[in-house]
Amino acid sequence: MEQLCYLGIRDIHEGLTQKQFSAVELVSSFFSHIHDFNPSLNAFITLTEKQALESAVKIDEKIARSHGLNLLEGVPYCLKDLFCTLGIQTTAGSKILEGFLPPYDATSVKRLKAAGGILLGKNTEDEFGHGSSSENTGFSVPRNPWDKKRVAGGSSGGSAVSVASGFSVFALGTDTGGSVRQPASLSGCVGLKPTYGRISRYGVIAMASSLDTVGILARSAEDVAFVLQILAGKDRYDSTLPDVSVPDYGAYLSQDVHGLKVGVPEEYFGEGLEDGVRKAVEQGIDVLKKLGMEVKPVHLPHTKYGVAAYYIICPSEVSANMARYDGIKYGSTAKDAETLMDVYLESRSRGFHPEVKRRIMIGTYALSSGYYDAYYLKAQKIRTLVKQDFEKAFEEVDILAAPVSPTVAFKIGEKTDNPLAMYLNDSLTIPANLAGICALSLPCGFSEGLPVGFQLLGPQFGEDRILQVAHAFQKVTDFHLQHP
């Protein structure tokens, strides 16, 4: 039954409605696959096997009563452990939240539940999303399914491993500076970071609020589009969502890409880009040409300032968002502390990962009086310039094509002692977050036997376009069909 684990949404829907397999058989085969292979991959903090099987029984009863199914009904998925799930432990990958049972579901989770998706578990990740390799965690480090000595990418590492290894059909992650696209690239699946404000973040534990987005990981662009259709659109609990209508993403997928204009930003192919990555991405661009798309060079001159600006803005917002973890309101408390101040100090110093502490310190410093103008304000000005670069480029082209990560998956432990080297991983993903535009990572080849991702970037609310191109690409290539 292992082959069931690599089916897409459409196939599962067909299989269930035509009674080729039952929902219980489907969910059971996912769990037996997870039990066989996850122990060496560490994709999960929590498995929700009992609840998942109960939901599957209900779906089988519905099929038996010959009621039709919605497209997502019975489809197994996972969540990065940053999404609040009613009564199910939600840790944000941090010991400080161990044992936290949220009293409500995040809006995305609520929508997936209503659509009939079946939650299989909560994924490992970098604490609160702080990282690029999922090594900054209070739990186990997920491993790359193509080479277990290497990182899965981060911070949504466990979610990318789940999808790439057939532990779930799709997963939700979050992308603040690249955390959906980068692990998708390193582990070999599709990862969409939508426009800021396209998907509600209500109930998603905040990292950096002006940058955070909910992202979708799946093996095909088509499946990403199906899930986006369920999640996109206004939510009265999240005031950062503008009233922009939600297109029929499925309808866009089949449209011809012939004649679309693709810009290739020269700045994304500079120093530090591995040859193998460059080659795979260039071959990806050739595929777009063969599909009849018009490719031309463009310039995004402020790209090189992106990382510096991000690592001021992100920690500043992190320092504010982490203030609420005081050892009292949620999760674990230092039980042996004697005074109130000791509760704060002990809970925070034991509960937070060193990377979280580093960001709290940098952010607090950057926001303090006297430094605010020199750092935070300047970083915000750069952010505007990066956004304007994209706006200019999108006056000339429909989408942009570029690498996602300058390298393939690196070895576990290789960069943990060098935060700067770790931060530089995100140089090609961060600009899209600063500008609030949409972007996705798409498997486009292999280098040294490891997957390489191809980044397609679109203007704000241009998800339909990049998904359309990604779908056309996957129709003529088979990188997404290869399994570790």
State the Cα–Cα distance between residues 426 and 375, nearest whole angstrom: 20
Q: Scanning residues 165 to 204, which ones bind ligand GLN (CB under 6 A)?
A: 174-179
What's the min distance (Å) between Cβ of 142 and ligand GLN? 15
What's the min distance (Å) between Cβ of 80 and ligand GLN? 9
Catalytic residue among 22, 29, 55, 80: 80
State the Cα–Cα distance between residues 16 and 26, nearest whole angstrom: 9
Judged by beta carbon, residue 48 or residue 433, the one nearer ligand GLN is: 433
Buried b (16+ CB within 10 A) or exposed e, 418-445: ebeebbbbbbbbbbbbbbbbbbbbbbbb
Instruction: Establish whether 179 is a catalytic residue.
Output: yes
Q: Name 283's bridge partners.
A: none
Judged by beta carbon, residue 222 or residue 426, the one nearer ligand GLN is: 426
What's the min distance (Å) between Cβ of 313 and ligand GLN? 10
Sequence-distant (≥ 6) Cβ neighbours of residue 185 within 8 angstroms: 153, 191, 404, 405, 441, 443, 451, 452, 453, 455
From edge to edge, which strands make up the β-sheet containing 190-193? 44-47, 118-123, 76-80, 170-174, 214-218, 190-193, 438-447, 450-458, 399-403, 261-265, 294-298
State the Cα–Cα distance between residues 140 and 138, nearest whole angstrom: 7
Judged by beta carbon, residue 227 or residue 422, the one nearer ligand GLN is: 422
Judged by beta carbon, residue 56 or residue 151, the one nearer ligand GLN is: 151
DSSP-derived 3-state class of residue 77: strand
β pairing state of 118-123 and 44-47: antiparallel
What's the min distance (Å) between Cβ of 199 and ligand GLN? 15
Asked whether position 90 contacts ligand GLN by CB under 6 A, the answer is no
- How far is residue 76 CA from its own chain's centroid? 17
Judged by beta carbon, residue 129 or residue 451, the one nearer ligand GLN is: 129
Judged by beta carbon, residue 224 or residue 318, the one nearer ligand GLN is: 318
What's the min distance (Å) between Cβ of 132 and ligand GLN? 4
In the set 106, 207, 343, 397, which binds ligand GLN (CB under 6 A)?
207
φ and ψ at 222, to 5 degrees?
-60, -45
Q: Scanning residues 423 to 442, which ones bind ligand GLN (CB under 6 A)?
A: 426
Asked whether position 213 contacts ligand GLN by CB under 6 A, the answer is no
Q: Among all chains, which residue has been given the structure tokens 């899930």?
A: 227
Asked whether position 409 contacts ligand GLN by CB under 6 A, the answer is no
Judged by beta carbon, residue 179 or residue 321, the one nearer ligand GLN is: 179
Encoded one letter per residue, x for contact with ligand GLN by CB under 6 A and - for no contact, window 121-160 reads --------xxxx----------------------x-----
| DSSP string over 104-163 | S--HHHHHHHHHT-EEEEEE--SGGG--SSS-S-SSPPPEETTEEEEE--SSSHHHHHHH
Catalytic residue among 55, 155, 185, 316: 155
What's the min distance (Å) between Cβ of 211 and ligand GLN? 8
Instruction: Establish whether 155 is a catalytic residue.
Output: yes
φ and ψ at 220, to 5 degrees?
-125, 155
Residue 196, CB-side half-sphere exposure with 13 Å CA sphere? 18
Q: Scanning residues 366 to 405, which ones bind ligand GLN (CB under 6 A)?
A: none
Instruction: Establish whether 134 is a catalytic residue.
Output: no
What's the min distance (Å) between Cβ of 177 and ligand GLN? 3
Catalytic residues: 80, 155, 179
**Contact positions vs ligand GLN (CB under 6 A):** 129-132, 155, 174-179, 207, 314, 426
